[in-house]
Amino acid sequence: MSNTSHEVAQGPHHNSGAASTALSAHSIDKKFPGVLANDSVDFDVRAGEVHTLLGENGAGKSTLAAVLCGLYQPDAGYLMRNGKRISLSSPRAGLQHGIAMVHQHFRLVERFTVSENVILGSRDLPFRLNRRELNEKVAAVAESYGLPIDPDATVGDLSVGQRQRVEIVKALYQGAEILLLDEPTAVLVPSEVEKLFENVHAMTAAGKSIVFISHKLGEVVEISDRVTVLRNGRVTGHVPGRGTADTKELARLMVGRDIELNAQRATHATGHEVLQIRNLSLSVNDVSVLTDISFNVHAGEMVGIAGVAGNGQRELADTIAGLISPTSGSVTISGSMTTDRGPVQAREVGLAYVPEDRLGMGLVPSMSILDNLLLTRDRQVVVDRISVRPEAARLIEQFEIKANGPDHLARKLSGGNAQKGLLARELSGGRGATKLLVVCSPTRGLDVGAIETVRRLLNDARSSGQAILLISEDLDEVLSLSDRVLVLYRGAVVHETAGETAQLSQVGAAMAGLSGGGR
């Protein structure tokens, strides 16, 4: 999440100042048990503009979006569409007023074709569908906004970016004038984000309104005509967008204090090799997942692994952590061969592992913080919780975990606190002092405040001489934190560069499998 924005062809867009208000919300209140998710929120979007809702997780963005599209009914306040007061009893009613939401988690039937998904939920369909005519209509809608898609393709075979396109085409096909995009870039790679932004410009050029929901500052500044910032259910600021917005200012409105996201890369001498990977290959069911990977990570060094999800990152991490036995090659952690020795052995020589799936793999949700601390440690036949309790209390304090004490259940921690808890356990060692930390997507889904803390913790660990392997789909994160960056594509390292000199475009191209330079 750096200020360096993605290079995007600026599409034509309307001068939003002149356009009329398409949809507005007035003093919206929405309560849930124990929370006031929206507290007299005002919001409006004009025809042909991109108006962004910016806020941390839990700030009330999604709630407001749900109210705007008819999924929720507000407890107080009302909506106006083209100057007329409307009340939406369901998303279908919202659609009748031309309002559609593209959810973060797609609502598509994987076994259906694109066309079938597009007409899903439409009423008044003929008993017998004319597929050719339908496909032509779907294709025509898609083409007109620069969203090329094969109407006959099965959704299950499509990439994430393409599925998102299907969702957008579906909304447009159903006659949406106002599209609410809920965290649309969360699942996309840089090139797909670029493409999405082009589509957004095409849509606004055609007079559609876009409500863009995000917590990523860089892209918000890039895409928005206007920005409305939410915090704790309240509007904390209306800010003009593109060109004029300042990420620092936006971050302050969002979090309520100044934050420093671009943790300084510490420059210091690195030590001996802690992790050595030699010719590592892995095949699962005769499909090659990792191919001949070799690299080292030194003490006090952070090596980043960039790549699009599903290119072998998880398998690489699991293999280093001793969970998977490689087909060939070796893993050595601080001088000891740990290949095929299992996770306990790997931990004994200094491995710590923060998996991508933090609640459910890294932490046991129904267990207390105390019991979770014991997960990767030596346990006696009769588990000794009494002597571990003070340590748990100390870690909660040291890592600033918001919890009621060691008995707080892991599933009741917020995402950020769960991650801090997981890092606390892994960094504090257990079976042996931590020498190597493998972290996967450490800040995914976290709010800005927690991201800052997690990145600081990683930097601190590096400064204290631990070797860190950072595996993340967030390219900005990998580039801004790592001393060296490796790009994983189809299970092979296709690009290697120093962190400081890394070129976003080069790394992005390598992630997409377009170039193999640098190695």
Interface residues with other proteins (CB under 8 A)? 32-35, 37, 57-58, 60, 62-63, 65-66, 71-73, 89, 321-323, 342-344, 347, 353, 355, 357, 360-367, 371, 374-376, 379-383
Dist CA 118 CA 114 (whole Å): 6
Nearer to other proteins, 324 or 488 (CB): 324
Nearer to other proteins, 445 or 518 (CB): 445
Contact 510, 309 (CB under 8 A): no
Nearer to other proteins, 93 or 205 (CB): 93
Nearer to other proteins, 259 or 323 (CB): 323
Q: Count CB-CB contacts under 10 A for residue 432.
A: 15
Q: Count CB-CB contacts under 10 A for residue 75.
A: 14
Nearer to other proteins, 323 or 512 (CB): 323
Picking from 241, 243, 197, the residue whose alpha carbon sits closest to that of residue 10 is 197
Nearer to other proteins, 8 or 359 (CB): 359
Nearer to other proteins, 71 or 80 (CB): 71
Rounded to the nearest whole angstrom, what is the least distance from the CB of residue 342 to other proteins in the complex?
6
Rounded to the nearest whole angstrom, what is the least distance from the CB of residue 382 to other proteins in the complex?
5
Residue 424 backbone class (left: φ over 0; alpha: ψ -120 to 50; beta: rest): alpha
Dist CA 145 CA 160 (whole Å): 19
Dist CA 211 CA 123 (whole Å): 26
Rounded to the nearest whole angstrom, what is the least distance from the CB of residue 361 to other proteins in the complex?
4
Q: Kindly report the backbone phi and psi dihedral angles of residue 112, in degrees, each rounded to the nearest multiple of 5, phi listed first.
A: -85, 160
Nearer to other proteins, 58 or 146 (CB): 58
Nearer to other proteins, 207 or 342 (CB): 342
Rounded to the nearest whole angstrom, what is the least distance from the CB of residue 255 to other proteins in the complex?
17
Rounded to the nearest whole angstrom, what is the least distance from the CB of residue 29 to other proteins in the complex?
13
Nearer to other proteins, 379 or 519 (CB): 379
End-to-end Cα, the chain, rounded Å: 27
For 25, 44, 210, the CA distances from 88, given in Å and listed in that order, are: 12, 16, 19
Rounded to the nearest whole angstrom, what is the least distance from the CB of residue 381 to other proteins in the complex?
5
Assigned token pair, 329: 């090659």
Q: Kindly report the backbone phi and psi dihedral angles of residue 97, in degrees, each rounded to the nearest multiple of 5, phi listed first.
A: -90, 10
Dist CA 234 CA 254 (whole Å): 10
For 183, 322, 346, 380, the CA distances from 340, given in Å and listed in that order, are: 40, 7, 10, 25
Rounded to the nearest whole angstrom, what is the least distance from the CB of residue 379 to other proteins in the complex?
5
Rounded to the nearest whole angstrom, what is the least distance from the CB of residue 364 to other proteins in the complex?
5
Rounded to the nearest whole angstrom, what is the least distance from the CB of residue 441 to other proteins in the complex?
15
Angle between helices 160-173 and 190-205 (to 10 degrees): 10
Name beta bridge partners: 277.
Answer: 295, 331
For 26, 75, 287, 386, the CA distances from 390, given in Å and listed in that order, are: 51, 45, 48, 8
Rounded to the nearest whole angstrom, what is the least distance from the CB of residue 135 to other proteins in the complex?
31
